[in-house]
Structures are given as structure tokens and as C-alpha cells.
Amino acid sequence: MSKFKQGVSYLTITAGLFALMYWIIFLGAKMEQSESATKAAASATARQSADFISIILHNFQHPLALLLAQIATIIVVARIFGWVCTKIKQPVVVGEMIAGIMLGPSFLGMHFPELFAGLFPKQSLGNLQFISQIGLILFMYIVGMEISLKTLKDKAYDAVVISHASIFFPFTLGVGLAYFLYQDFAPANVPFSAFALFSGVAMSITAFPVLARIVQERGINKTKLGTIALTCAAADDVSAWCILAALIAFVKAGTFINGLYTIGLSIVYVIIMIKLVRPFLQRVSEKHSTSESISRPVVAIFFLVLILSAYAAEIVGIHALFGAFMAGAIMPDSEKFRQIFIEKVQDVALVLLLPLFFVFTGLRTQIGLLNDPYLWQITALIIFVAVLGKFAGSALAAKAVGQSWKDSLSVGALMNTRGLMELVVLNIGYDLGVISPEIFTMMVIMAIVTTCMTGPALDIINRVFKHDTKNSLSPVSHSPNT
């Protein structure tokens, strides 16, 4: 009853104060009453009303308000498409990739041009790009933490052979594909070597985070098949990123000699991270091994290492994303400690910031550029080469080292998953001017198609080899960190 009385007293006092203020204002207005004053006041009221409307309209176009509207729209659309994809047994990342294209010029800009121009004006894209890059840096930090260097160091012979084959075979096919695409599709003044090497990298990428989640969702992460696939994908990602870093160094340096200098600095950077920074972080983790004892200063140390690593990689000339990846990879070996940091980062990175990258990619993806049957034939050729390189290359390598046909084909299907990692590589190539908008669009379509293939391909393989499950599903004593 006392709370009720307090509420009544609060409302009574508030109402009384408002009444007093209104009475004072009324008395003050009475002092300036006259016919001319009344007309002037009416005119002023009209001007104030017009000014208020113009202020509201101006606020809608304010950079901060526009950015917040963009973020809210992107998150909602990405969540909707991600939910739809989970219902049809596709990774959430597929839905987010499609959401990015739907919000870009390929759909929203084509069918609702005024809404598209109002929501994504050209002058606002710079802010969207920078924030999406922050999301990517945090995402690559997670990818690095999910890859265990100890697992890679101790990986089995089978994984070594399969991972190498899953890089070199598609890389070679990508270089061969570039020979046929260069004359018609390469940007002006781009050397064939840069175009060909980038094509090779784009063909040889595997999306380790997506693969890890597919393996985990299917409950095979602790089986022989899951262990081989995860180890191969981890080795694949590390190797592909090292190759990409070298390619970026040469493209940015402009000359072969400058490229060698950049590679030299990159090697020094990697040695410092592994030999100096990693032991320091290991000592810190040994003193703070539980979530209860990880204080804000400790968290600040690790995030400072992330930022400085990304900064150093950007300054050296091998891209900030490689620095973020490296900062995650050198995290202490403790799986529990890594998981604590993954949980701290992933909600902000994956839910809030990463969808901005998908939409920024979608704004660059102009499916309308593929306005000729010949261009769609080239797109189909790119998809065919991508699948042949990763799926067939990985499967044949797995079979060559003694795996069953079921396991070999399953490894091939999993390694063919490209997902977000492919989009990251494509955007780097686009920013460097190595690929044209047409090739960018074709390869984005390839990334979506090859990622969508993974689930159905595994289901078909399981149905065809439904009696051959003993070896692939046998548990192993240790599995990679997923």
C-alpha cells in the first residue's frame, strides 16, 4: 500500500508542477498580446513548424542515423534469411550471403531504386565498409583461435597429403582458368601473374569455420572422418592465407624487389608473433585460466595484441586480416581459455558486425552485369573448375592414402565448402583491383553454390554408402579444436 501512495504522490506533484509552469507561461504570453504581436507569433509558429519538419528530414540523412538504420535493416534481413536456411538444412552463412545480395543492386536496387538510394547512398558506403572491416578482423581472430597450431603440428600423414592436394590441385586449375579469362575479364594494367595467382587462391580456399560447424552439427566432430576433415581444412586455411599474404605483398609492392622486402618483413613479423608474443600470452593465460579470474586488464592485453597484430600486418603490406588471423592462431593452447575469448567476441562479431560485410559484398555484386548467356557459361565454368579442384582433388588424395570411398568423397564434399572465407578473399582481390566486377560477381555466385552443395552432397554420399559407416564413424581419442 505504501508503494501505491508513493505513486499517487509522485503523479500529484508532477501534475502540479506542470500546471504551475503552464500558468506562468500563460501569464507571460499575456504581456505581449496585441494584434501585431499575435500575427508575428503566428508567422513564427509556422516558420518553427517548417523548420522542425526540415530538421527531422535532415536527421534522417545524418551519417550516424543512416548508419544505424542500415545496421538495423541488415541484422533483421540477415536473421530472416539465416533462419530460412536452417529450416532447409543449409548453413546460416548461406542465408546471410544471400541476404547481402538481396539488399544490393541485384535485387533491392533493381526493384526498389528509391528505397535503395535512400538506405544505401554512395556517400555512406565508406562508413559501412570500415565497420564491416572491424567485424572481419574480429571474425578472423575467431578463425585463428579455432585452429589449433598443436593439432597442425601433430597432424597425421593422411591429413598432410589431403590438405596439400586440396590446395595444389585447385590452385593449378585456377591458374589454368585464368589463362582463358585474362584477355576478356582482367582489369586493365593488371599483370597476368597477379590475376592468375589470385584465381588460384580463390579456387583453393576452404571455409574452416563453416566446415567445423557442419561437422559439429552432424555429430561427426569426434570421429575419424571429422578429425581428418577438420585437420585438412585447418592446414588448408593456414597455407592459403600464407599464399594470399605473399600475393598481396607483391601486388601492393608493385615490383619484384619491393615484394621481396615485404615478404622479408612479413617473415620477421611472424617470427616475433610466434617466438615472443605467443610465450608472453601463454604466461598470462597460466595465471588466469578460468573465466572468473580473467579481469578486464587481461582482456585488454589480448585485444591490444589483436589490434597491434592487425596494424603491423597492414603496415608491412600483407593486410590487417592476416594479422588478426595470426593473433588468434598464437593464442594459448588451452582450449578452455580460447573458448572464453571466442564467447566474448563471437556474438558481437557474428551477429552485429559480420552481416555488414555480407551486405557490403552484396552492394558490389551486380548480377545484372551477367546480361549475356556467354557470361553465365563462364560462371558455370568457374563453378565446375572450383568443384573439380576441391571436391575431386581432395577425394582422390584421400583415396590415395587408403581412405574408403565413402570417407574420401565425404572429405571432398566438406573441403569444397567455401562460405565466408571465399568472400573475404574476393573482396581483398576487388580492393586491390586484381579482379573486375564481372569476375567478382561470378565468384560470389560460385561461393554460394559450392557452400550450398555441401549438405546435400553429404546426404547423397551417406545414402549411397549407407552400409559403409564403421570406419568413418569410429571415434578417435583426440580431435581438433572446433
H-assigned helices in 103-189: 108-111, 113-119, 125-146, 149-153, 157-185
CB 365 within 8 A of CB 101: yes
pLDDT band at 477 (very low <50, low <70, confident <90, very high): very low
CB 275 within 8 A of CB 339: no
Instruction: Kindly state the DSSP code that residue 187 receives in the 8-state scheme.
Output: P
H-assigned helices in 218-255: 224-253
H-assigned helices in 288-404: 296-316, 320-329, 335-346, 354-364, 373-387, 393-400
DSSP output for 8-62: HHHHHHHHHHHHHHHHHHHHHHHHT-SHHHHHHHHHHHHHHHHHHHHHHHHHHTS
pLDDT band at 444 (very low <50, low <70, confident <90, very high): very high
Domain ranges of the chain: 79-116+129-464
Q: What percent of the chain has pLDDT over 90?
A: 16
CA neighbor of 203 nearest in space, from 244, 234, 148:
244
Question: What's the pLDDT tens digit per position in 310-357?
Answer: 999 888 877 888 888 889 888 887 777 888 888 888 888 888 888 888
Cα–Cα distance between 154 and 477 in angstroms, integer?
14
Grid cell of 417 as nine digits: 565448402
pLDDT at 54: 66
Whether residue 40 has pLDDT greater than 70: no
pLDDT band at 479 (very low <50, low <70, confident <90, very high): very low
Task: Determine the average pLDDT of the residues in 149-161.
Answer: 61
- Alpha carbon of 14 to those of 3, 17, 24, 317, 417: distances in Å? 16, 5, 16, 63, 63
Task: Determine the average pLDDT of the residues in 152-157.
Answer: 57
- Give the list of residues 6+ apart from residue 260 with CB closer than 8 angstroms, or none: none
Cα–Cα distance between 98 and 367 in angstroms, integer?
12
pLDDT at 306: 92
Q: CATH for 79-116+129-464?
A: 1.20.1530.20
Grouping H, G, I as helix, E, B as strand and the rest as coil, residue 294 is coil
pLDDT band at 48 (very low <50, low <70, confident <90, very high): low
Cα–Cα distance between 248 and 466 in angstroms, integer?
45
- Give the list of residues 6+ apart from residue 92 with CB closer than 8 angstroms, or none: 82, 85, 86
Whether residue 363 has pLDDT greater than 90: no
- Alpha carbon of 306 to those of 3, 137, 320: distances in Å? 51, 9, 10
Whether residue 37 has pLDDT greater than 80: no
Cα–Cα–Cα angle for 65, 69, 73, nearest 5°? 170
Question: What's the pLDDT tens digit per position in 231-254?
Answer: 787 777 777 777 888 888 877 766
pLDDT at 293: 60
